[in-house]
Amino acid sequence: MSKPTRLRIAGGTVYDPANGADGVVRDVCIEGDRIVAELPASAPRLDARGMVVMPGGVDIHAHVAGSSVNHARRLLPEEHAAEPMPAPRLEDGAVARSGTGGTLPSTFTTGYRYAGLGYTTAMEAAVAPIAARHAHAELDDTPIIDAGFFVLLGNDDYLLRQLAAGEGARARDYAAWLLGTTRAYAIKIVNPGGVAVWKRGGDRRNVSGLDDALGSSAVTPRKILETLAGAANALALPHPVHIHCNNLGQPGNAATTLESMKALSGQRAHFTHLQFHSYGGAPGKGWASAARDVIAYVNAHAEVSVDVGQVMFGAATTVTADSPLEHLLYASSGRKWVNVDIELESGCGIVPYAYKEKAAVAALQWAVGLELFLLATDPWRVVLSTDHPNGGTFLSYPELIRLLMDRAYRDERLKGVNQKLLAGSALLDGLAREYTLGEIAIVTRAGPARLLGLKGKGHLAPGADADVTIYADVADRAKMFAAPRYVIKAGTLVVEEGQLRRAPTGRRLAVRPEYDAAVTKDLKRFFDEYASVAFENYGAEPVA
Amino acid sequence: MTDRIVANVTCLGCGCACDDITVVVTEDRIADARNACALGTAWFGDGTVPAETRVNGRSASLEQALTEAARLLSGANRPLVYLAGDVSCETQREGVAIADRLHAAIDSLAATAAAAVLAAQRRGRAGATLGEIRQQADLVVFWGVDPSARYPRYASRYAVEPPGVATAQGRASRTLIAVDVGDSRGPAEADRRVAIAPADEVDGLGMMRAAVQGRAVDDEERFRSVVELARRMTGARYVAIVADSEPGLIPADPARAEALVTLAQALNGPTRCALSTLRGGGNRSGADAVLTWQTGFPFAVDFARGYPSYQPQAGAAALLDGGEVDAALVIGTPASLPEPVAAGLSRVRSVVIGPRASAATFQPAVAVDTGEAGIHEGGTAFRMDDVPLPLRPSLEGGVRAAFVTVRTLRERMGARA
């Protein structure tokens, strides 16, 4: 079939939760790169009878492009050597690009894999502003998907100075300027204040809670969260501030997580990879699940959204701006370790990892993630993620979907894991819930699209982007979601009969909020005093 | 073109990639490159480059040259693509696309730092961007290198002199220590000097690591001064260890590179430490980054099997030396090529597209002169610490652009970007 300017997806069972379709047999019509209400009867048809039709998947949080991801790729030649990816042959005989897989695939392979999974949009979750130009270059080489990134704020020296000086308005202008100049999509906070403390050296290695002061008593993780959440909301950004809380991965960190949520009570905020922040117990005294407490708060507060950051058994790579955390992982695992302190801004830490069923903490993490999913009452605010590749790669999403949809399978898997730390977890007590296809459509596309403020994504009403995924309706949901029969991106049929056939270029998703330009004069002074790159060369704008 | 002044220009004369150069253009020539060091001044030159197009030594049209280049490369059994100096990341991306399509081997100038790259692949790294060393480091240890020779502004812009947020007095906020490894000496202006014999270096680094980790160390005279240095490092707030990863007096030694990495990592137990590995210019770090994101490997990649495989022991020089290669595409300045690569290229049919291609000493079959990234054309380049910087051409439009030329060749060969 040649590239369709018009296509009627005929007779499929449509899951379009944003428009109330929960398994309705109807046609979906595409003209150009949009969904349309109707097409003439003569328009080309794709017979989707007996198949499941959903909007294209939307990944709200993954590490797929940019400086830290590339450091991780460089660290793992053995993974790449183990998974060569010959170039797919496309429909017109054209040869696409080869690459390598592993937990951090090469850029072209990343794009092809997302498309092969029925995902048509992805957000790179952590880009240091100074490396924004690099992230854009990688996204340019990541085909098919529409993509954007979240820019790291909250450990940056300029922001902390504004907080110390009580310059809230300037902090907001700075955030707006930074989003525009780096062509980012949203504000990301990672371990607010903790990375700055780690970089400073001396006796302190990290912050431990929301009210640890950084130098000035006016600068605390709480203040950083309040300022940036306030900025994102005041700027009316499409996605609220995207928060990786303090104390990731530490026993007892649920208290910090809940305190962070309460600190922003009443304000929109997205708390990412919640699984890694939902542990009871205490440092040095053991671990337990605190998923019940954390999800209860989320359930009761409509302003809060989360993605789960599920841990999946198998190979992973931890890659994060939370560099003090990675030092702990290095010290405890003895594996190879990358740390890069990023000037005036942020950090980067990487440790390869593997989650094993027989390891007590890994099994607890797996269980906590499932508890969060299964105890959540509003799927629109609880997004499916693995914090790719931290909890597992995005290729494990189909297996995760099966765990959510198939209780018998889940219970069987539960029997095989180390249950030492699972006492008191809701999962061990027995959770009967099985996600429906409609709920899966929410947590993998409609929900994240809405939370990202992507009006054309995650639904199939006329005017929406023509990003559509069509699955064979098979009982094994892992198989079903791993290999969609057809994937349409912006009206182009990219996957046909399960094969990648076309690899068009995706669009970049970015915001450009307004700000008081007076901030740039102050920034220029700051750059002249401290930065190692010229103010004029910073960011990712084309230069004249 | 009119006379003009272009500010905030990035220099690719060495890996420092100083982006504070002001280029003064008078009568279409670079009259001055303000702030540039001697290396930078030489790199900018007056901006004149040859503009020849040659096939088999004779002048030809671009059309003829690209047709012959495509014929020669497509007909090869074992083609090699080499990313040489002074091209942008955008041009390098086109080069990798050609190599992928041709099922060629591809290597780059980044391979000159192979020992350090391989050590980082085995152990990881404890690093920092150069600007963070400036902000934080109160103890800077130059390990067998004086940066003033090959990285002239490293000290004034990054690790020694400028004040940072936690080093408000600049030079006065830091202690400088020179470790002289045989004849590879640290900077003359160091506050203290420590000497170690080249034969003892790797063991000495291991001994230092043991001291940092609180393990027992030999009480041998030859290690005493470095062990004392290790204790001093442990007491600092933030240590920077600066070492050269480009070939020099000390032969590249994998064990040495690895010992430096693991010492820097170990120092992050008791204190903070970053290892700054010095790398050369010409945007070789960009080649490393591009190849890594497109293939998963930083240099010495082989597409022969239809996918990237990593052959760090069989890079360009080894393939040429072994007589395997029957055609080569060099993208960049041929004068930047390591000597063994240049020597090997004299034995095969080659295509060179880049600045001063026509001056290549190995008599390429096709030579297409282009402008130089950062002087005649824009794009992106990477500093030695992987910080991306924009290039600001001061003489754009005067000569053929490397990016457009390589892209045209890529399209002609049916390769996808």
Query: With an 8 Å Cβ cutoff, are B131 and A84 in contact?
Result: no
The stretch A24-51 carries a mean pLDDT of: 97
Q: What is the pLDDT of residue B217?
A: 85
Inform me whether the C-beta atom of residue A528 falls under 8 Å from chain B C-beta atoms. no
Residue B350: inside a domain: yes
- Cα of A232 vs its chain's centroid, Å: 18
The stretch A378-405 carries a mean pLDDT of: 98
Q: What is the pLDDT of residue B252?
A: 80
Q: What is the pLDDT of residue A544?
A: 66
Contact residues, chain A, for B134 at CB < 8 Å? 343, 530, 532
B263 shares its domain with B305: no
B133 shares its domain with B255: yes
Q: What is the pLDDT of residue A430?
A: 87
Lowest mean pLDDT among A3-17, B104-118, B133-147: A3-17
CA dist A133 and A142 (Å) reads 14
Query: With an 8 Å Cβ cutoff, are B93 and A141 in contact?
Result: yes
Query: With an 8 Å Cβ cutoff, are B129 and A337 in contact?
Result: no
For the cut 80, the answer to whether the pLDDT of residue A2 exceeds it is: no
Which of B199, B232, B267 is the endpoint of a domain? Answer: B267
Nearest 10 degrees: CA dihedral of A389, A391, A395, A398? -160
Which of B267, B295, B328 is the endpoint of a domain? Answer: B267
Q: What is the pLDDT of residue A3?
A: 47
Who among B100, B124, B157 is closest to A75 (CB)? B124
CA dist B186 and B178 (Å) reads 4
Contact residues, chain A, for B389 at CB < 8 Å? 133, 533, 537
Residue B78 token pair: 């074992």
Return the residue of A nearest to B7 by Cα: A536
CA dist A310 and A409 (Å) reads 17
Q: Could you report the per-residue pLDDT of A405-459, keeping only the tens digit for each?
A: 999 999 999 999 999 999 989 998 889 999 999 999 999 999 999 999 999 999 9
**Domain tally for chain B?**
2
Q: Minimal Cα–Cα distance from B405 to chain A, Å?
A: 20
The stretch B385-389 carries a mean pLDDT of: 98
Return the residue of A nearest to B396 by Cα: A544
CA dist B231 and B236 (Å) reads 9
Residue B122: inside a domain: no
Nearest to B262 by CA among B210, B200, B201: B210
User: What end-to-end distance do the CA atoms of chain A give, in Å?
Assistant: 43
Q: Minimal Cα–Cα distance from A142 to chain B, Å?
A: 9
**Partner B, chain A 446-465, Cβ-Cβ below 8 Å:** none
If you write DSSP's letter for every residue of A496-514 in order, what string do you get?
Answer: ETTEE-------B------
Inform me whether the C-beta atom of residue B7 falls under 8 Å from chain A C-beta atoms. yes
Task: Tell me whether strands A499-500 and A492-496 are parallel, antiparallel or unpaired.
Answer: antiparallel
B319-329 residues labelled b (16+ CB within 10 A) or e (exposed): bbeeeebebbb
B220 shares its domain with B301: no
H-state helical runs in A406-499: 407-415, 426-429, 437-441, 447-452, 477-482
Contacts of B111 (CB under 8 A, 6+ apart): B299, B300, B315, B316, B338
B405 shares its domain with B287: yes
Mean pLDDT of chain B: 97
Contact residues, chain A, for B394 at CB < 8 Å? none
User: What end-to-end distance do the CA atoms of chain B give, in Å?
Assistant: 33
Q: What are phi and psi of A351, to 5 degrees?
A: -140, 125
Q: At what angle do helices B89-102 and B402-412 cross, to 10 degrees?
A: 20
Q: Are B297 and B310 in contact (CB under 8 A)?
A: yes
Query: With an 8 Å Cβ cutoff, are A532 and B157 in contact?
Result: yes
Contact residues, chain B, for A87 at CB < 8 Å? 100, 306-307
B288 shares its domain with B373: yes
Inform me whether the C-beta atom of residue B308 falls under 8 Å from chain A C-beta atoms. yes
Q: What is the pLDDT of residue A363?
A: 98
Q: At what angle do helices A67-75 and B114-123 cross, to 10 degrees?
A: 90
Query: With an 8 Å Cβ cutoff, are B386 and A71 in contact?
Result: yes
Nearest to A311 by CA among A353, A362, A250: A362
Nearest to A454 by CA among A388, A508, A373, A401: A508
Query: With an 8 Å Cβ cutoff, are A97 and B120 in contact?
Result: no
Q: Minimal Cα–Cα distance from A76 to chain B, Å?
A: 7
Q: Could you report the per-residue pLDDT of B276-291, keeping only the tens digit for each?
A: 999 999 999 999 999 9
B208 shares its domain with B299: no
Task: Tell me whether strands A382-383 and A337-342 are parallel, antiparallel or unpaired.
Answer: unpaired
Residue B21: inside a domain: no
Residue B101: inside a domain: yes
For the cut 90, the answer to whether the pLDDT of residue A102 exceeds it is: yes
CB burial class (10 A; 0-12, 13-18, 19+) of residue B2?
A: exposed
Residue B300: inside a domain: yes
Determine the Cα angle at B375 with ends B369 and B378, to 5°.
95
Contacts of B56 (CB under 8 A, 6+ apart): B365, B366
Q: Minimal Cα–Cα distance from B209 to chain A, Å?
A: 15
pLDDT grade, residue A366 (50/70/90)? very high
Q: What is the pLDDT of residue A93?
A: 80
Nearest 10 degrees: CA dihedral of A457, A458, A459, A464? 10
Residue B37: inside a domain: no
Amino acid code (one letter) for B39: L
Inform me whether the C-beta atom of residue A53 falls under 8 Å from chain B C-beta atoms. no
What is this model's ipTM?
Answer: 0.98
Contacts of B178 (CB under 8 A, 6+ apart): B142, B146, B185, B186, B187, B188, B190, B192, B193, B194
Nearest to A154 by CA among A214, A205, A202, A70: A214
Q: Could you report the per-residue pLDDT of B14-41, keeping only the tens digit for each?
A: 999 999 999 999 999 999 999 999 999 9
Which of B215, B243, B267 is the endpoint of a domain? Answer: B267
A328-356 residues labelled b (16+ CB within 10 A) or e (exposed): bbbeeeeebbbbbbbbbbbbbbbbbbebe
Task: Tell me whether strands B79-83 and B105-108 are parallel, antiparallel or unpaired.
Answer: parallel
Residue A103 token pair: 């937990």
Query: What does R_g of chain B's alpha carbons equal in angstroms?
Result: 22
Who among A73, A141, A534 is closest to B296 (CB)? A73
Who among A74, A133, A138 is closest to B390 (CB)? A133
Q: Could you report the per-residue pLDDT of A52-91, keeping only the tens digit for each?
A: 999 999 999 999 999 999 999 999 999 999 999 999 999 9
Query: With an 8 Å Cβ cutoff, are A99 and B126 in contact?
Result: no
Q: At what angle do helices A132-140 and A67-75 cross, to 10 degrees?
A: 70
Mean pLDDT of chain A: 97
- Cα of A37 vs its chain's centroid, Å: 32
CA dist A121 and A144 (Å) reads 9
Residue B97: inside a domain: yes
Which secondary structure element, helix H or strand E, spans residue B204, and what is its range?
A: helix B201-212
For the cut 70, the answer to whether the pLDDT of residue B74 exceeds it is: yes
Q: Could you report the per-residue pLDDT of A198-227, keeping only the tens digit for each?
A: 999 988 999 999 999 998 899 999 999 999
pLDDT grade, residue B1 (50/70/90)? low
The stretch A496-514 carries a mean pLDDT of: 96
Of the residues A70, A71, A73, A74, the best mutation for testing chain B's interface (the one with the most B CB atoms within 10 Å of its CB) is A74
B82 shares its domain with B134: no
pLDDT grade, residue A1 (50/70/90)? very low
B325 shares its domain with B406: yes
pTM score > 0.90 for this model?
yes
- Cα of A523 vs its chain's centroid, Å: 30
Distance set, CA A287 to CA A258, A326, A360, A431 (Å): 17, 19, 9, 21
Contact residues, chain A, for B303 at CB < 8 Å? 98
CATH of the domain at B320: 3.40.50.740
Nearest 10 degrees: CA dihedral of A480, A486, A487, A493? 170
Residue B70: inside a domain: yes
The stretch B162-185 carries a mean pLDDT of: 97
Return the percentage of chain A with pLDDT > 70, whole number: 99
Amino acid code (one letter) for A432: A
Inform me whether the C-beta atom of residue B389 falls under 8 Å from chain A C-beta atoms. yes
CA dist B173 and B116 (Å) reads 29
Return the percentage of chain A with pLDDT > 90, whole number: 95
Residue A37 token pair: 């209400």
Query: With an 8 Å Cβ cutoff, are A201 and B164 in contact?
Result: no
**Partner B, chain A 499-518, Cβ-Cβ below 8 Å:** 503
Place of tokens 């892992």: A478
pLDDT grade, residue A4 (50/70/90)? low
Q: Are A79 and A102 in contact (CB under 8 A)?
A: yes
Q: Could you report the per-residue pLDDT of B121-154, keeping only the tens digit for each?
A: 999 999 999 999 999 999 999 999 999 999 999 9
Inform me whether the C-beta atom of residue A334 falls under 8 Å from chain B C-beta atoms. no
Q: Are A141 and A166 in contact (CB under 8 A)?
A: no
Contacts of A107 (CB under 8 A, 6+ apart): A65, A99, A138, A139, A141, A142, B293, B294
Return the percentage of chain B with pLDDT > 90, whole number: 95
Query: With an 8 Å Cβ cutoff, are A133 and B101 in contact?
Result: no
Q: Could you report the per-residue pLDDT of A113-166, keeping only the tens digit for each?
A: 999 999 999 999 999 999 999 999 999 999 999 999 999 999 999 999 999 999
The stretch A333-343 carries a mean pLDDT of: 97
Q: What is the pLDDT of residue B218?
A: 79
Place of tokens 């495509």: B70
B173 shares its domain with B252: yes
Residue B209 belongs to domain spanning? 127-267
CA dist B164 and B171 (Å) reads 10
CA dist A179 and A193 (Å) reads 20
B334 shares its domain with B203: no
The stretch B38-62 carries a mean pLDDT of: 98
B59 shares its domain with B107: yes
Determine the Cα angle at A405 with ends A404 and A409, to 5°.
85
The stretch B94-110 carries a mean pLDDT of: 98
B307 shares its domain with B370: yes
